[in-house]
Amino acid sequence: MSTIALKEAIQWHDALMDAEFKGRKDNESAARFRLSKKTGVPESYLYRLNYKRREMRDVPGEVYRRLMLAYEAICTHVEKKAEAIEREAQAIEEANAIERGHSPSGEGNSAAA
C-alpha cells in the first residue's frame, strides 16, 4: 500500500462499511452487498479493499471517485442532522428563556459590573 489515493479509499471503505452495518444480527457480507449496490463498486473489489489491502498498490479512479462521493454524501447527511439538532436546541432554549421572562439574546439582564 503506497499511494495516498489507496489510503484514502481504504479509509472511506472502512467508514462506509461501519455506516452500512446494521447491528448484531447483520453480517459483513450483507453490509458489503448493500454498500456495493449503493456505490456501484463491485462487491469483490470491496472485499479486496478489506482483506487484500496489503497486496494492493493503487486503486482505480472510478472506484476512488465512487467511494469518495458516497463518503461525502454520508458526511453531508450527518452535518445536516447536526444542524437540525442545533436549531431545535436553540429553539428550546429561546422558549425556556421567554417563559422565565428573559430575552433570548441576553439583553435586559442586569448584571453587576
Buried b (16+ CB within 10 A) or exposed e, 25-56: eeeeeebbebbbeebebeeebbebbeeebeee
At residue 113, does pLDDT exceed 80? Answer: no
Q: What is the mean pLDDT of the chain?
A: 89
Q: Which amino acid does the sequence have at 103?
A: S
Domain assignments of the chain as residue spans, ordered by start: 4-99
Confidence of residue 108 (pLDDT cuts 50, 70, 90): low
